[in-house]
Structure 1
Amino acid sequence: MTTPTPPPGWHPDPEGTPQLRWWDGTQWTSATKPRALQEGPKTPPSPIDPAIRRRNNLIAAGLIGIVVLGLGAWQILNTQGGGNGPAASEAAAIASSPSVASRESAPTASAAPTSSANATTDEVMRAFWLRVDREGYLTINVNGTYTDTELESAFLEVRRTYTSTKKTGGWHVFIDCGNGQQAVGGARQANGKFALDSLGAARTGLAVGQYEFEPLPNRKACPPDLPPIADGTVTAHDVIDAFAAAGLPATNRQDRTITAGCEDLKCAQMIAVDEVSVYLFSDVAQAAHYAEIFGANKVYQNGLLAIRYKRDGKHPIDEALIPQYNAALDAVGSVR
């Protein structure tokens, strides 16, 4: 008995697989599809002409290039005028709200993110410097006394930037008092953390997309109430410049004036490099008292200025250079 020839269309695969195979009226083709998508007989779609495919790809690439160029121009226009002062890395704003123990990233009807088109300078506090200390740890330095809401808006701006650019990890964020990106040791103003993925959730103890922000109560004023510096006074920066001019090592300059250490010593300025720290006092008696406390083998004083040498730690001073450092301080101190 002869098996009747099936009409052209989709039929159960004669090879026994759980799918349909196309019969063109004379033979089984290689075209298959899942049995659940079975339809009435139809002609398989004809292959796309290679020339048409290349043309479509070129058009798509051109459109993508136009979009990228447009986004780049928009970012340049939005970042112009920022100068070199403290600022967050991007211009879009996020509405701030009173801090709570934790929040989810999804917006709610009562607290939706504010678009950059409607943002005002009151909604996002951008007068800060951001520093990556190491993977998972960020420091925001501020040089001013800000409200809880303003500090939180700076934290949210950093979180928003990392959510759109970094997109991975978990980040602990410390907001400290500091004048510049590299300033360290300033009075802590607030703490926060956020998680962007499962690894970040494990690092921070938060759910993916969640964050926490905690402004510290009774925090010290920023900047602290430091002694004034009279006009024409040789500063600690002047001394470091003199070291460099004399060819002495003075690497990794950091302004540590806004720190608990300088405040406790009642110094007016503290500038540190890897080899030494230079202190400026507003009173000669206070400078002499500081030199007396730490001893002549560690501190050299000239008037309002004092050098403290690092004889141990990661970058100990070259003992043979100490007389040259002292001479450089004496020389710059006699200029004014």
Structure 2
Amino acid sequence: MNQNAKTAQLNSFLDPFPATKEIAGAVLRAWPEHNDFILKSMSERSPELMQTTETLASAALLLAGSKIDRIATHYRWTCDRLRDEELFFHREGRYRLSTFAEANEEVYSNAAYMEKYMDGLLFSQVLWFNHAASCHFFLTTTPKILPAKSRYLEIGPGHGLMMYLALREFDLDFATAWDLSAVSIEQTKHALSLLGFDNINFGVRDIMELSPGEAEFDLIVLSEILEHLEDPMIAMRHIRSLTTEGAYVFVNVPINSPSPDHLYLMQTLDDARALLTETGFKIVAEDFYATKGTPIDKALRRKVSISACMLATPAV
């Protein structure tokens, strides 16, 4: 099948999902060869997951605005950086960086790099199966166990898409977003304002500096945060000390997922579970999603990136 026929096939598949189709089209203008990846990623999704994908795409389009084509170019740039990291990972069996100082020097302190990287990751929430599926798990599983009028905290909310889903669909009493970076929290604040939500408590806070009882929440969310730490076990033990009986934590963490700023390598499902089970939590719901919907056992054998989604409550 030639490239035009493949593009027509993808367009036909995405016709019922106009926002998703618009993002895919922008990316294919910058990167026509990415068609096969997108088609495979989309074809593995259930109708329900496609609806969540469309919700994410609609939000991403609002955030992209007139910059959609530039962000599509940055998405390709980000994928190229990730490919370099994957080559190193499969050759060496480890992530290239291991300290925050290294990540800060190469990534976080480089404004031009961060702009491209964050742009690329925005569209990955729509186009990558494991990213969209993780949001779908959060959206559909959490309300089944979370009480009404809950107090919500997200640590490191990034683009704000996970918080956006919670504000739209959960019956929250209030929502709080914290980040160590003042720049990052202002970007999240701006994004959520564009998405129609201003009733959020934003703060530049370090969770390691909080004392038990200082702030109480019914749900604490850490989505794609722990892999950026040198020792996430320390962070999760501290979060356990802050988590009251009956509260929940949602953790989304990648397995075998090399990226320019990933430091802590998890290689198995149990490595991911240990972040909770060895720090005082009991997992009450979990699921795992691999790149392009690859079966999990196959992904583990081939060291394909897997997103581990877990909801947990304090263990007795």
Q: Which of 1 and 2 has higher RCO (CA within 8 Å, sep 6+)? A: 2
Instruction: Decide which structure has greater strand share.
Output: 1
TM bucket (normalised to shorter chain) is: under 0.3
Per the normalisation by structure 2, the TM-score is 0.22
Q: Which has the larger radius of gyration?
A: 1
Per the normalisation by structure 1, the TM-score is 0.21
